[in-house]
Chains A and B, each alone.
Chain A
Amino acid sequence: MFLKDYISDVVNGVSSLLKGMRKTGYYFTHSKEIITEQYPDNRATLKLADRFKGEVVMPHDENNEHTCTGCTACELACPNGTIKIITKFDITPEGKKKKAIDAFIYRLEMCTLCNLCVAACPSDAIKMAPNFEHSVFDRSKLTKILNKPGSKIKEGIE
C-alpha cells in the first residue's frame, strides 16, 4: 500500500511539473508572443495614452495667448496647494483696469496628478500632458511658471 502511494505520488508529481515546464517551453520557442517594452530604447516609438496624467500644462496658441482668467478655481480645487496664481491689473486700451495673471506657479513635486484642477477650470486653460520623465538634479527645477513670458489672455475670454 505504502509503495503504491509512493509511486503514484512520484508519477503525479513529475507529470504536474512537466505540465508547467511545457508552458515554459512553449514560450521559449514562441518568442513573438512575449510582450516586453524595451524602455528606454523605444523612446522614439513610445506612445502613451492621450489622457495620461503626467503634469499640468497651459496650452498657448501661435499668438502666445492663453485662456487663463486668473479666477483661482484650480487653486481652490487643488488638495495640496500645488498651484499658486499671482494676479496683476492690466490697463485695457479703453483705460480700464483688467485682472490678468502675472504668474501661474505650479509645483510639480507636490502634485498628485488627481486632475481636479483641470476639471474645475471654467475656461479650459490648463490640461494634463503625457510627460512622465520628470527626474532632475535640482528640486527647484520642478517649480514651474506655466504662462510663457509675454503671453496674454485671448480676446473674448472673461
Chain B
Amino acid sequence: MYTETEIIKDNTDLGPDGELVVNMGPQHPATHGVLHLVVTLNGETIKKIEPHLGYIHRSIEKMCESLTYRQFIYVTSRMDYLSSHINNTACALLVEKGMQIEVPERAKVVRTILNELTRIASHELWIGAMAMDLGAFTPFFYAFREREMITDIMEDTCGARLTMNYIVPGGLMYDIHPDFQTKVKAFVKQFKEKVTEYEDLVTGNVIFQSRTKGVGVLTAEDAISYGCTGPVARASGVRCDIRKIDPYDAYDRVEFDEVIETAGDSFARYMVRVKEMNQSIRIIEQLIDQIPEGDFVGKTKNVLKLAKGEFYQRVETARGELGVYIVSEGATTPHRIKFRSPGFSNLSVLDHIAKGSKIGDLMATMGTLDLVIPDIDR
C-alpha cells in the first residue's frame, strides 16, 4: 500500500529540465488510424514530436512485385483508402504509358469525374473528422450526408463504396451505370445548396477560427524543403497541383483554378480544401454532359508485359502528389515498385511546425495535415 506522499514521489520522474513524455496513440481516440506520436512536453509546450510508424505496415510495395500488372492495382486501393480511385488511376496510367495503350475518350472522362468525386468525398470526411478532433461533433454528420451520396454513386457504378478497383489498364472495368449522370447531377445540385451549411457551422465559428488561425504555420520554403504537396503546400503559397503542371486523363480540357492561400496556418489549409471542393464541382459540371459515346476499355493484350526500363507516373490525390515508380525487367510482374506517398512527407513536417506550440494546438495542426496512416506506412 502506498501512502499519499509516496504516490507523489513516484509520479515525479520527469526529465532533467522538467520534461514530460506523453504517448499519443495508438489507441488515442482523436488520432486517425493508428499513428503513435511520442510528444516531449515542457509544461504544456511541445519540445519534440516523434512519430512512430509501422503499426499498419503491410509491405504493399513488395506485395505488388509478385502480382501482375492487372492484379497489382487493387492493392493500391488499400494505401490511401480515401482516394483509392486516384491511386488506381495512377497505376493504370503508368501501365498505359509503358505499353502505349490507347485509352478511349469515354474512359478518360469518366475517370476524371470519378477522381473528382473521390476528392470531394475525401475532403468531406476530412472536414468531419477534423472538426471532431477540435471538439465539434455536429459537422461530421453534415459532411457524411453529402459523402453518402457519393458512396452511393460509387456503389452503383463500381460495385464498392471504398476500395473500388474500377480502373484497369486501358480504361474501365465495366461501363458506367445508366443512372450515373442523373445521380451525379443530383449530387452537384445538393452539394451547392448545402455547402453553405459548412460555412455557417465551421468556417464562421469563432471557436474554430481562434483555434486554427495562426496555429501550425508552415512557410513556403519549409513546405518545399520537406517535400510537402497537395493542400498542405498550397496553403503556404506553393504551386504544386499536378492536374495543372502535368495534366493526365481529361484535366487538360477543363477549366479550374488552382486554389492558393498564403497564410500557411491551419485555417489556410482548411480553406484550401473547402475551396478545392468547389473547384471539383466545377470540373464535374463541365464534364458530366460531355461523356463521349464509345468503348469504355481500349484494346489490350491478354498478358501485359512492360518493356525493360524505368517508368514513373504522378497524379494529384486528395492529399498531394502520389508517384508510382516501376523498374521493369520485361516480365509480367514489376521488378521493383516504389510509391511516393503524399502522407509521409506531410507527416514529416509535423515536428517542425508544432514545436513550441501548446499541446492543444497539436490537434488542430495534425488534423489539418490530413494524415491517412495506411498511406504513410503502406
Taking Cβ atoms with an 8 Å cutoff, the residues of A that contact B are 12-13, 16-17, 19-20, 22-24, 35, 48-53, 77, 79, 112-116, 119, 128
B205–A20 contact, CB under 8 A? Answer: yes
Give the residues in chain B near A53, CB-CB below 8 Å.
159-160
Task: Please pick, from B160, B200, B206, the residue contacting A52 in the complex, using a CB distance under 8 A.
Answer: B160
A23–B155 contact, CB under 8 A? Answer: no
Interface: B158 (CB within 8 A):
yes
- From residue 137 to 176 of chain B, which have CB atoms closer than 8 A to chain A? 138, 145, 148, 152, 155-160, 163, 165, 168, 173-174
Give the residues in chain B near A23, CB-CB below 8 Å.
197, 200-201
Complex Cα spacing A48 to B159, Å: 10
Interface: B67 (CB within 8 A):
yes
Give the residues in chain B near A128, CB-CB below 8 Å.
159
A77–B155 contact, CB under 8 A? Answer: no
A79–B71 contact, CB under 8 A? Answer: yes
Give the residues in chain A near B155, CB-CB below 8 Å.
48-49, 51-52
Nearest neighbor of A35 in chain B, beta-carbon distance: B145
Complex Cα spacing A48 to B74, Å: 22
A51–B75 contact, CB under 8 A? Answer: no
Interface: B16 (CB within 8 A):
no
Give the residues in chain A near B163, CB-CB below 8 Å.
112-113
Give the residues in chain A near B205, CB-CB below 8 Å.
16-17, 20
A116–B71 contact, CB under 8 A? Answer: yes
Interface: B204 (CB within 8 A):
yes
Q: List 25 A-B contacts (CB under 8 A).
A: A13-B207, A16-B204, A16-B206, A17-B206, A17-B207, A20-B200, A20-B201, A23-B197, A23-B200, A49-B156, A50-B156, A51-B158, A51-B159, A51-B174, A79-B71, A79-B72, A79-B74, A79-B75, A112-B163, A114-B74, A114-B165, A115-B165, A116-B165, A119-B168, A128-B159
B206–A115 contact, CB under 8 A? Answer: no
- From residue 169 to 208 of chain B, which have CB atoms closer than 8 A to chain A? 173-174, 177, 197, 200-201, 204-207
A116–B74 contact, CB under 8 A? Answer: yes
Interface: B305 (CB within 8 A):
no
Which of A12, A13, A53, A113 neighbours the largest number of chain B CB atoms within 10 Å of its CB?
A53
- From residue 39 to 75 of chain B, which have CB atoms closer than 8 A to chain A? 67, 70-72, 74-75
Task: Please pick, from A22, A113, A115, the residue contacting B173 in the complex, using a CB distance under 8 A.
Answer: A115
Complex Cα spacing A52 to B201, Å: 34
Please give the distance in Å from B177's CB to the nearest CB on chain A: 7
A16-B205, A48-B155 given; A113·B71 CB < 8 A: no
Nearest neighbor of A73 in chain B, beta-carbon distance: B302
A13-B206, A23-B201 given; A52·B75 CB < 8 A: no
The 8 closest A-B pairs by CB, nearest first: A51-B159, A13-B206, A79-B71, A114-B74, A53-B159, A49-B155, A16-B206, A114-B165
Please give the distance in Å from B203's CB to the nearest CB on chain A: 9
Give the residues in chain A near B165, CB-CB below 8 Å.
114-116
Nearest neighbor of B196 in chain A, beta-carbon distance: A23
Complex Cα spacing A51 to B160, Å: 8
Give the residues in chain B near A24, CB-CB below 8 Å.
138
Task: Please pick, from B74, B177, B206, B207, the residue contacting A112 in the complex, using a CB distance under 8 A.
Answer: B74
Which of B74, B155, B165, B206 neighbours the largest number of chain A CB atoms within 10 Å of its CB?
B206
Instruction: List 16 additional contacts besides A24-B138, A49-B152; criterion CB under 8 Å.
Output: A13-B207, A16-B206, A17-B207, A19-B200, A51-B155, A51-B156, A51-B157, A52-B160, A53-B159, A79-B71, A79-B72, A112-B74, A115-B159, A116-B70, A116-B74, A119-B168
Give the residues in chain B near A22, CB-CB below 8 Å.
200
Task: Please pick, from A13, A19, A52, the residue contacting B159 in the complex, using a CB distance under 8 A.
Answer: A52
Nearest neighbor of B204 in chain A, beta-carbon distance: A16
Please give the distance in Å from A71's CB to the nearest CB on chain B: 13
Give the residues in chain A near B75, CB-CB below 8 Å.
79
A24-B138, A49-B155, A51-B157 given; A119·B173 CB < 8 A: yes
Please give the distance in Å from A90's CB to the nearest CB on chain B: 28
Complex Cα spacing A13 to B72, Å: 52
Give the residues in chain A near B71, CB-CB below 8 Å.
77, 79, 116
Please give the distance in Å from B361's CB to the nearest CB on chain A: 19
